[in-house]
Structure 1
Amino acid sequence: MSKQGKIGVTSENIFPVIKKFLYSEHDIFLRELVSNAVDASQKLRALASAGEYKGELGELQVRVSFDPEAKTITISDSGIGMTAEEVEKYINQIAFSGAEEFLDKYKDDKVAIIGHFGLGFYSSFMVSSRVEIQTKSYKEGAEAVHWSCEGNPEYILEPGSRSERGTDIILHIDSESEEFLSKDRLTALLNKYCKFLPIPIIFGKKQEWKDGAYVDTDQDNQINDIHPAWTKKPSELTKEDYIAFYHQLYPQTMEEPLFWIHLNVDYPFNLTGILYFPKVKNQMELQRNKIQLYANQVFVTEEVEGIVPEYLTLLHGVLDSPDIPLNVSRSYLQSDAQVKKISNHIAKKVADKLDELFRNERSLFEEKWESLKVFVQYGMLSDEKFYERAAKFNLLTDLEGKLYTIEEYRTLTESSQTDKDGQLVWLYANDKETQYSAIERATAKGYSVLLMDGPLDVHAISQLEQKLEKTRFVRVDSDSIDKLIAKDEQREVSLSSEEQQALSQIFQARLPREEKRNYHVTFEALGEDADAVLITQGEFMRRMQEMARLQPGMNFYGELPEGYNVVLNSDHALIKRLLSEEQTSVEPKLGTLREELKAQTELVEAARTVQNAKKADEVTAAEREELESLSYKQAELEGKINSELQRFGQETALVGQLVDLALLGSGLLKGEALARFIRRSQELL
C-alpha cells in the first residue's frame, strides 16, 4: 500500500512556525526524539509485564548514529513500533486550531510549545529538510511502514523496509544545521539531555589509545547511567555513592559537598532527587542554576526558579518530578498549586535537615557554618516560614570565632550590654583590622563584639532588629563606646560655645578634603584616659549606604556622601593644651574682631526681630536690604576669625598629628597622607 496525503493541520504555515519559533532552542530536537524512543521501549516492557506481549524483549536500547557524507542523523529503537494506522493517528494529525491562535497564545513562551502540545516529534523539522520514519509494530502480523515528509503538510506513507520491531527516525539535516553532523556536538547534546535516561543510549563505540591515536573498539559506547543515585533508596547508597554522584553531575568540581538531602515523595505529588550543599570557600564562588530538573529521568532545565525557592537555587543537585510538565512557562510555575506544594516541601526538607544536623551534630554543623551561613540568611530574608524554622539554628560569630544561637548570645550579653533605656545592644565589626581600635575600646569595657562580614549581614541585622524585642545592632566604630551602650547620663562638655567653635575651625583646617566624604567636628567628655580624637560613622546612614550597594532600589542612599564624626575628647590633656595654645597665640589677635562680631550680631538679631514682627508683605525693600547688608558684614567678620583659627590649625603640627592618628585608627589614612604622617612622626620624635 502506498499513500499520499496532507498532515492534519488547519494552517499550512505550521512548519515555518516550528522552525522560526523554536530556532533559539533548536538543539532540543535530540532530547525529544531520544525521549520518544525511550518511551517506546518502556511501553513494550510494560506490555510484556502485563502479559500483552509474548515475544522476546531482547536488548532494549536506543541507538544514535550520524553520517556526515549523507548528512543524516538516525535515532533507532527496538520498542513497540507503529502500524500504518498509528502513524496516521500519532504523526499525521496534529491537534492545533490554527497557527495564528497558536502564535498569539505562546508568543512570549517559545519553549512551552514542545512537549506541551505533543510536538516532540515535529521538533525534528527545526534542523531537517526531510524526515523519514521506518517503523514496524510489535503486533503480530504487522507490516513495516515508511513515512517521509519534507517540512510541509505533504507526506508519503508506504510499505517500509524495517525487518525487526521498532522505529528508525532519519533526519536529513538542512544546510543551516550542519553543526549537528559532528561527533563532539552530538556527544555534548546527549550528555546534556540524555545522561540519565532509563534505557541504554548507545552512541558509537568505546575508544582506546593505540599507536598514538584513539581508535574504536568493538564495545558499544553507552552514554547514560540508567540507574542514577536519585532513583535508588537512601538505604541502598553509601556516603561514597553520594559523593561520586556529585562529581558525576559536576565533573569540573574538585571540592566535596558539605552534605546532602535525599528527597523521595510519592504523595500528594511525586518528587525524587538529591540536593547538595556545596562548600563555599569565598562568597564569589556562589553560583545559581546548578540544580538540574528532570521529568522521569529526562533532562528539562537548570533554571528551576519557581520550582525551588529562590534562596535554594544556590544549592546543587537533581530534582525529578513527573508532576512538572516538560515545558512550561514561568507564569505557569508561579501559579500552579502542585508546583507550590513541591516548592514548600523542598524548603521544609532543607530546614529539617539543617535542624537535625544542628541538634545531633552541633560541632559538625559549626564546622560547616561558614559555608552554610549565606544559605540560611538568604532563606530567612526571603521566606517567613523558613525564618521561623531557622531561627533556632542561625548562628552568630564573635571575634574569637565562637558560635552562639540568638538565645545563647542574649544570655551571654544581657547583663552587661543592656543600656539605661533597657535596650540590649549587640556590637559588631565587619573588618577586624580597620576597626581594631574601636574593638579594643569595647573589649576593654568587657563587651562582646560580633563579626558580621558576610555579604548578607547588613540585611540580616536589619531583619533581626525587627524580629527581636528591645535589641539593636551597632557597629563598634559608629560612636564612642560610652554612647554606644549608654549606662548613665552622659557627662557634659565643659567647653564654652566659643571654645568649641574655635577648636572646630582648628581641626577642620587639617581634615581631608575628599569627594563624597564629609567630616563633622563634635565634642564629648570621654574621660582623661580615652583617646583625644575619635572618628566615627553614624550607624543609620552607613547601613543604608551598605544596603544600597546590594539593593539597586536604594540608589538614593548610595549617591549620598559618606559622613564621619570627628569626636574631640574635651577631657583629654592634648585637647586642653591645644585650646590653651590657641588662647595664648590667636585670641589676642581676635579680641577686636570678636567685639565687632558681637555688636554686629546684635544688630542682625534686632533687624530680624523687627521683620519677624511684621507680615511678609509689610516688610519694605529698604528693610530687607539693610538686613542683608548687616548679615553680610556679620559673615565677613566670622570669616576673618575662622581664617585666623584655621591658620593656627594648619601651622600646628600637633593638630595634624591628632587628626592623622584618628584617621589611621579608623582605616582612613592612606597613600600620600599616610606618607606625610610617617615623615611628621619622625620629625616629632
Structure 2
Amino acid sequence: MQEKGNISIHTENIFPIIKKFLYSDHEIFLRELVSNAVDATQKLKRLAALGEYPGELGDTKVTVSVNKEAGTITITDRGIGMTAEEIKKYINQIAFSGATEFIEKYKDKTDTNQIIGHFGLGFYSAFMVSSNVEINTLSYQPNSKAAHWICDGSTEFEIKLSDKAERGSEITLHIAEDSLEFLETSRIHSILDKYCRFLPVEIEFEGEIINNPSPLWTKQPSELKDEDYIAFYKELYPMSEDPLFWIHLNVDYPFSLTGVLYFPKLKKDFEFQRNKIQLYSRQVFITDEVKDIVPEFLMLLHGVIDSPDIPLNVSRSFLQADGNVKKINSHITKKVADKLNELFNNDRAGFEAKWDDIGMFVKYGMISEEKFYDKAKNFCLLKNTDNALSTIEEYEQKIKPIQTDKNDKLVYLYSNNAVAQDIFIQAAKKKQYDVLLLDSVIDSHFLGQLESKLEKVQFKRIDSESVDKLIEKDEPKLSLLTKEQETQAEELFKKVVNNGKVIIKLEHLATDDMPVTIVISEFMRRMKDMAATSGQSMFGGFELTHEVVVNTNHPLIAKAIAAPEAEGEQLIKQTYQLGLLSQGLLQGAELSAFIERNMNALVK
C-alpha cells in the first residue's frame, strides 16, 4: 500500500498560521506530542480494564529521544496506535478528533476525563519546529497493518505500509533550521521537566524516568501523612522552608478539581515572584500565571491546581469569561476560608502562633474579596504593641469602655513602628489606652477596609494627635497660662520654627504630657502610605506638613516665657527639636547642630 494525497483543511496557509499564531511559545510542541502519547497509552489501559483488549500491556512508558546528528526528535509510545484509515481520519482531516469518537463509544463505561485525547491541532504543533514529520504506527486491533505517514509541512502527505512490529506510535520530527535549539538534550530535558513532570504515564529520556506519574494531589487525603505533603512541597519548591499547613482540594461536581494549596511562611513583604501556584490539566502543566483562575490574594499561596475543565491552550479572555473558571475561583476561596476557620476553632493557640506568617494573607484576602471578608472577620486577629492577639469582635469589647469618644465613636489607636513611636505609645498607656501594631505594607488599606465595614469606628495613628486629642472626651481642660502668656508662647514658637508651612497649635494638656508634640494629619499620612503600596504617584512625592502641638500646661513652656528672650528661645528650640527627633524629622545639618549643642551643654 502506498498513497499520496492532500490533507483536508480549509486553507493552504494552515501551517504558517499554526507556526505563528496557534502557540506563542514553540516549546509547547513537546508538551502536545508527549500528551498525545500518554493519552494513547491511557486509552489502551482503559480498554484492557474493560476487557476489550485481551493482549499483554507490557512496558507502557513513553520514550523521548534526540538524535543530534540526524537532526531528529522521536516520541515513542506503546498505546493504541492507529491504522492507515485512522491516520487519514484523525491526522489528515483536522476537523475530527480521535478522542471525540472514542468518548462517544465508551461514554457509558469509563471516566471520560481520563482519556480525552489531543489528536488534531495539537499534533500539528510539531510543524512549528519541523521541516518534516513522520508517523510510524501499529494499531492494537487484531490483524492490523502498520502504517507510515510522512508530511513536509505542506498540505501534501504520503502514507504507506510499514514494517513496525510493536503496538503503538512513533512520531519523528526532522527539526527545521530555525529550531536547532531543540536538538540540545538540556533544552528538551528542561521542557519535559516543566510540562511533563507529573504526567500519569512514565516518561523516559536519556535512559531515565523524568516524571512522577502519581503526584500527591491524585491520591486520597486519607492515604497521606503530613510528611507526604511536606515531601511533595519540597519536590515543587526544593529551596523553600516547610509550609505552615495545606488544603487538599478534591471536587467532582459541578466541576472537576483536584490539587493541594500550601500556606507558606510569609514575611512582611509580598513574595509573588518566587514560588507560584501551578495550573495543570489532567497532570499536564499549563501555566503558573493563575491570576484569572484564582483570586489575586490566593496567589500568595503555593501548590498545584488540576482541572480537566480548563483546556491546555487558553487565552486570558477565555479564562475571564468561562463559567467553570469562575466556579473554581469561588470554590477555592471558600475552601481556604473554611480551612483557616477550622484551624482557628480547633487550635486557637496554634493559629495565633502562625499569625505573623499568615496575617498578611488574611488581611489581603479581606481587602480584595468580599466573600472572604465575610468569613475571615471571625478569625482575623489584631495584635497590640504588647503582642496580645484578639479577634475584631473581642478587641472591640476590650477597648469600648475607655476608647469611645464624646461622639460615641470607637477609636482604634495604632502604631506602624512601635520602636520609633514608643514615646507616643507610653503616653497612651498612661491613659490606659490600648495601641494596635499595624506595621505591614498593606495595613493602611486594611484599616481603611475595617473603617468602612465597622460601625462608628475610626483608626488613628498614635502620633497623629496629642494624646488628649486622639480620643476627645467631654472633659474641659483649663490652661495654666493666661491669654497673654499663650500669645507670648505662640509668638516664640513662630519665631523659632520660622516655617510658614508649619502649623502652631496651643492645647491644654496634662502637665506630665510632652511639652511639644509633632503630629502629621492622619488623612494625609494615610493617603501617602496607600499611594506608596499601590504604586500611585499622586501623593508619592507629596511633602507632609506637620503641626506643632504646644502643651500650655507643661512647666517648660511657662519657664520659656518667663526667661530672658535668648534663653527662652533656646528652650523653645530645644523642645521643638526634641519633638522633631521623636518623629524622625530632625535631619541633616539641623540634627548635627542639635547633637553638638547638647554635647557642649553636657561639658559645661
TM-score interval w.r.t. the shorter chain? over 0.9
Equivalent residue letter for 1:440: Q
- Given that residues 288 and 315 in structure 1 are in contact (C-alpha distance below 8 angstroms), is that contact kept between their aligned partners in structure 2? no
Equivalent residue letter for 1:223: I
- Given that residues 64 and 203 in structure 1 are in contact (C-alpha distance below 8 angstroms), is that contact kept between their aligned partners in structure 2? yes
The secondary structure found in structure 1 opposite 2:121 is coil
What residue is the counterpart of 1:173 in the other structure? Answer: 175
Question: Structure 2: 5+ residue runs without aligned partners?
Answer: 97-116
The secondary structure found in structure 2 opposite 1:262 is strand
TM-aligned CA distance change 1:512 to 1:22, over 3 Å: farther
- Given that residues 74 and 173 in structure 2 are in contact (C-alpha distance below 8 angstroms), is that contact kept between their aligned partners in structure 1? yes
The Cα of 1:489 is off from its aligned counterpart by 4.1
In 1, Cα distance between equivalents of 2:319 and 2:201: 29
In 1, Cα distance between equivalents of 2:118 and 2:59: 30
TM-aligned CA distance change 1:117 to 1:82, over 3 Å: closer
The Cα of 1:579 is off from its aligned counterpart by 2.7
> Which among 494, 508, 514 is matched to residue 525 of structure 1?
508
What residue is the counterpart of 2:2 in the other structure? Answer: 2
- Given that residues 289 and 303 in structure 1 are in contact (C-alpha distance below 8 angstroms), is that contact kept between their aligned partners in structure 2? no
- Given that residues 406 and 474 in structure 2 are in contact (C-alpha distance below 8 angstroms), is that contact kept between their aligned partners in structure 1? yes
- Given that residues 435 and 667 in structure 1 are in contact (C-alpha distance below 8 angstroms), is that contact kept between their aligned partners in structure 2? no
1:677 paired with 2:597, answer no
The Cα of 1:161 is off from its aligned counterpart by 2.9
The secondary structure found in structure 1 opposite 2:149 is strand
What residue is the counterpart of 2:318 in the other structure? Answer: 332
What residue is the counterpart of 2:418 in the other structure? Answer: 432
The Cα of 1:298 is off from its aligned counterpart by 1.1
Which of structures 1 and 2 has the bigger CA Rg?
1
In 2, Cα distance between equivalents of 1:65 and 1:417: 73
In 2, Cα distance between equivalents of 1:311 and 1:142: 55
1:233 paired with 2:220, answer yes
Matches within 5 A, 1:148-163: 148-163=150-165
In 2, Cα distance between equivalents of 1:270 and 1:46: 20
In 2, Cα distance between equivalents of 1:679 and 1:224: 69
What residue is the counterpart of 1:642 in the other structure? Answer: none
The secondary structure found in structure 2 opposite 1:133 is strand
Matches within 5 A, 1:89-488: 89-95=89-95, 118-205=120-207, 221-253=208-240, 255-287=241-273, 290-488=276-474
The secondary structure found in structure 2 opposite 1:285 is coil
The Cα of 1:670 is off from its aligned counterpart by 3.2
- 1:172-224 per-position Cα deviation (integer Å, ceiling 9, x unaligned): 1111111111121111111111101111101122xxxxxxxxxxxxxxx1111
Equivalent residue letter for 2:284: V
Matches within 5 A, 1:80-91: 80-91=80-91
TM-aligned CA distance change 1:237 to 1:512, over 3 Å: farther
Equivalent residue letter for 1:199: V
- 1:245-296 per-position Cα deviation (integer Å, ceiling 9, x unaligned): 000111222x000000001111111111100001124425344771111111
What residue is the counterpart of 1:579 in the other structure? Answer: 561
TM-aligned CA distance change 1:666 to 1:378, over 3 Å: same
The Cα of 1:363 is off from its aligned counterpart by 0.9
The Cα of 1:481 is off from its aligned counterpart by 0.9
TM-aligned CA distance change 1:385 to 1:512, over 3 Å: farther
Equivalent residue letter for 1:469: E
The secondary structure found in structure 2 opposite 1:53 is coil
What residue is the counterpart of 1:661 in the other structure? Answer: 578
The Cα of 1:672 is off from its aligned counterpart by 3.2
In 1, Cα distance between equivalents of 2:298 and 2:541: 32
- How many residues of Structure 1 are paired with residues of Structure 2 in the alignment? 582
In 2, Cα distance between equivalents of 1:500 and 1:125: 87
- 1:352-371 per-position Cα deviation (integer Å, ceiling 9, x unaligned): 00000000011111111111
- Given that residues 35 and 118 in structure 2 are in contact (C-alpha distance below 8 angstroms), is that contact kept between their aligned partners in structure 1? no
Equivalent residue letter for 2:69: E
In 2, Cα distance between equivalents of 1:665 and 1:388: 39
1:549 paired with 2:515, answer no
The Cα of 1:23 is off from its aligned counterpart by 6.2
- 1:354-395 per-position Cα deviation (integer Å, ceiling 9, x unaligned): 000000011111111111111111111111111110000000
In 2, Cα distance between equivalents of 1:527 and 1:368: 41
- 1:476-522 per-position Cα deviation (integer Å, ceiling 9, x unaligned): 11101111111224435576787656544533444487xxx942211
The Cα of 1:545 is off from its aligned counterpart by 1.2
In 2, Cα distance between equivalents of 1:222 and 1:458: 50
In 2, Cα distance between equivalents of 1:684 and 1:507: 22
Give the TM-score of the pair, scaled to structure 2. 0.92
Equivalent residue letter for 1:129: S
The secondary structure found in structure 1 opposite 2:465 is coil
The secondary structure found in structure 2 opposite 1:294 is strand
- Given that residues 481 and 553 in structure 2 are in contact (C-alpha distance below 8 angstroms), is that contact kept between their aligned partners in structure 1? no
The Cα of 1:22 is off from its aligned counterpart by 4.6
The Cα of 1:67 is off from its aligned counterpart by 0.4
- Given that residues 657 and 681 in structure 1 are in contact (C-alpha distance below 8 angstroms), is that contact kept between their aligned partners in structure 2? no
What residue is the counterpart of 1:43 in the other structure? Answer: 43
In 1, Cα distance between equivalents of 2:58 and 2:121: 29
- Given that residues 83 and 144 in structure 2 are in contact (C-alpha distance below 8 angstroms), is that contact kept between their aligned partners in structure 1? yes
In 2, Cα distance between equivalents of 1:85 and 1:488: 93
Equivalent residue letter for 2:137: T
In 2, Cα distance between equivalents of 1:551 and 1:479: 26
TM-aligned CA distance change 1:532 to 1:66, over 3 Å: same
Question: Structure 1: 5+ residue runs without aligned partners?
Answer: 97-114, 206-220, 586-647
In 2, Cα distance between equivalents of 1:159 and 1:428: 81
- Given that residues 518 and 562 in structure 1 are in contact (C-alpha distance below 8 angstroms), is that contact kept between their aligned partners in structure 2? no
In 2, Cα distance between equivalents of 1:493 and 1:422: 26
- Given that residues 258 and 368 in structure 1 are in contact (C-alpha distance below 8 angstroms), is that contact kept between their aligned partners in structure 2? yes
In 2, Cα distance between equivalents of 1:493 and 1:370: 45
- Given that residues 288 and 313 in structure 1 are in contact (C-alpha distance below 8 angstroms), is that contact kept between their aligned partners in structure 2? no
In 2, Cα distance between equivalents of 1:285 and 1:334: 24
The Cα of 1:683 is off from its aligned counterpart by 2.7
1:560 paired with 2:477, answer no
- 1:627-685 per-position Cα deviation (integer Å, ceiling 9, x unaligned): xxxxxxxxxxxxxxxxxxxxx69x93223211111111222223432221122113333
The Cα of 1:402 is off from its aligned counterpart by 1.0
1:538 paired with 2:503, answer no
Give the TM-score of the pair, scaled to structure 1. 0.82
Aligned-pair identity (%) = 54
In 1, Cα distance between equivalents of 2:421 and 2:224: 49
1:60 paired with 2:46, answer no
In 2, Cα distance between equivalents of 1:505 and 1:175: 84
- Given that residues 198 and 226 in structure 1 are in contact (C-alpha distance below 8 angstroms), is that contact kept between their aligned partners in structure 2? yes
In 1, Cα distance between equivalents of 2:481 and 2:70: 97
In 2, Cα distance between equivalents of 1:441 and 1:4: 92
The secondary structure found in structure 2 opposite 1:162 is coil
The secondary structure found in structure 2 opposite 1:562 is coil
The secondary structure found in structure 1 opposite 2:293 is coil
TM-aligned CA distance change 1:117 to 1:416, over 3 Å: farther
> Which stretch shows the higher mean deviation, 173-182 or 27-36?
173-182
The Cα of 1:141 is off from its aligned counterpart by 1.3
TM-aligned CA distance change 1:124 to 1:496, over 3 Å: farther
- Given that residues 136 and 145 in structure 1 are in contact (C-alpha distance below 8 angstroms), is that contact kept between their aligned partners in structure 2? yes
The secondary structure found in structure 1 opposite 2:206 is strand
The Cα of 1:118 is off from its aligned counterpart by 3.6
> Which among 649, 652, 661 is matched to residue 569 of structure 2?
652
Equivalent residue letter for 2:553: D
- Given that residues 518 and 583 in structure 2 are in contact (C-alpha distance below 8 angstroms), is that contact kept between their aligned partners in structure 1? yes
